[in-house]
Amino acid sequence: MASFEKALSKDFFNTLLPSFGTPKKTTPIWDSGQKMFLINNYETVGGNYTYEGIRFCENVLIKEKIGQYHTWTYLNTIELYAFNGNKLELVQKKDFDKAHRQSVDIPQECEELIFNYLASGIKLMGVKTSDEIMRKEAKRLVEGCFKDFLDDDYNPRLMRMLPLLESH
């Protein structure tokens, strides 16, 4: 049994970290430092590295478009998506025009995008509520999106979303 487990784990690790020249199986890439899944990474014609990162909870998805130039990382865009059944709809977007990523308070920016979306939706429905209630909800949603996937209490239901998100 021990040799079977050893062989199984060797094959499993080789699928995640294949040797040079061997294609990697498609699996989402979780970056614990940034607390997001990395998608759509490529090198531009100018030699810069560009990627997108997504974070999500049961209600919203946040996508960052990020670039790397020499020794610094810049933020191009943050997009906020809402779920409509099994589909995503872009509901808010903020462009940063290559802002130095460390200078941007990304959770705060995400809270502001969610707050703006909630405020406009509530106004369109003709409902009155306080900004404080909407800000608390925005903060709760952002905290859910910035939860570490490796935490034991990460919602396993969210894992079912990954195949849908990879194509977006």
Integer Cα distance of 113 and 105 in angstroms: 13
CB within 8 Å of 101: residues ≥ 6 apart:
66, 72, 73, 74, 75
**Cβ(75)–Cβ(66) under 8 Å?**
yes
Q: What is the pLDDT of residues 9-33, one digit of tens each?
A: 556 566 666 667 666 666 678 888 8
Integer Rg of the chain from CA:
19
What is the tens place of the pLDDT at every residue in 145-160? 988 887 776 666 566 6
Task: Please report where in the chains the tokens 């995503």 appear, as a residue.
Answer: 88
Residue 6: inside a domain: no
pTM for this prediction = 0.79
Q: Which domain holds residue 59?
A: 27-162
Number of domains in the chain: 1
Is residue 18 domain-resident? no
Instruction: Please state, in angstroms and as integers, the Cα–Cα distance from residue 14 to each residue in 10, 22, 130, 165, following that order.
Output: 6, 9, 53, 25
> Is residue 22 assigned to a domain?
no
| Residue 3 within any structural domain of the chain | no
Residue 12, in any domain of the structure: no
Q: What is the pLDDT of residues 39-57, one digit of tens each?
A: 888 888 888 888 999 998 8
Determine, yes or no, domain membership for 77: yes
Q: Dump pLDDT digits (tens) for 73-105.
A: 888 899 999 988 888 899 999 998 777 777 678
